[in-house]
Structure 1
Amino acid sequence: MPRSRFTAFAAALLALAPATLLALTSCTSRDDPPETTPSTATAPAPAPDLAASVKVADSPFGRILVDGAGRTLYGFTKDKAKGKDKAGDSACDADCVAVWPALTATRGLEPGPGVRPALLTDTKLAEGAEQAVYGDWPLYYYVGDATAGEVNGQGLDGVWFAVAPDGKLVREPA
Structure 2
Amino acid sequence: MRTRNLVLAATAVSTAVFTLSACGGNASEKGQHAAGAPRNTTSTVSVKLADSEYGRILVDQSGRTLYAFTKDKDGASNCSADCIAVWPALTTGSQPQAGSGAQRPLLAETQRTKGVAQVTYNNWPLYYYVGDAVAGDANGQGIDGQWFVVSADGKLVKKPAN
TM-score, normalised relative to structure 2: 0.72
In structure 2, do the counterparts of structure 1 residues 113 and 128 end up closer, same or farther at CA, with 3 Å as the change threshold? same
Which of 42, 67, 76 aligns to 1:74? It is 67
Q: Segments of 4+ in structure 1 off by > 2 A?
A: none
Query: Structure 1 vs Structure 2: percent identity of aligned residues?
Result: 57
Give ranges in structure 1 of 5+ residues lacking alignment.
1-38, 40-45, 81-86
C-alpha separation in 2, matches of 1:146 and 1:104: 19
Aligned residue in 2 for 1:145: 132
C-alpha separation in 1, matches of 2:98 and 2:80: 27
In the alignment, is residue 63 of structure 1 matched against residue 50 of structure 2? no
In the alignment, is residue 102 of structure 1 matched against residue 95 of structure 2? no
> Deviation of residue 102 (structure 1)?
0.3
> Deviation of residue 128 (structure 1)?
3.0
C-alpha separation in 1, matches of 2:115 and 2:94: 13
Which of 45, 48, 59 aligns to 1:52? It is 45
3-state SS in 2 of match to 1:98: helix
* Structure with bigger gyration radius: 1
> Deviation of residue 133 (structure 1)?
0.2
Q: Figure out how many residues of one structure are paired with residues of the other and give that number.
A: 124
Report which of the two has the higher share of strand. Answer: 2
C-alpha separation in 2, matches of 1:145 and 1:118: 28
Aligned residue in 2 for 1:115: 102
In structure 2, do the counterparts of structure 1 residues 172 and 127 end up closer, same or farther at CA, with 3 Å as the change threshold? farther
Aligned residue in 1 for 2:120: 133
> For residue 89 of structure 2, what is the amino acid of its counterpart?
A
In the alignment, is residue 170 of structure 1 matched against residue 142 of structure 2? no
C-alpha separation in 1, matches of 2:125 and 2:102: 15
3-state SS in 2 of match to 1:150: coil
> For residue 107 of structure 1, what is the amino acid of its counterpart?
S
In the alignment, is residue 161 of structure 1 matched against residue 154 of structure 2? no
Give ranges in structure 2 of 5+ residues lacking alignment.
1-21, 23-29, 32-40
Aligned residue in 2 for 1:84: none
> For residue 122 of structure 2, what is the amino acid of its counterpart?
G
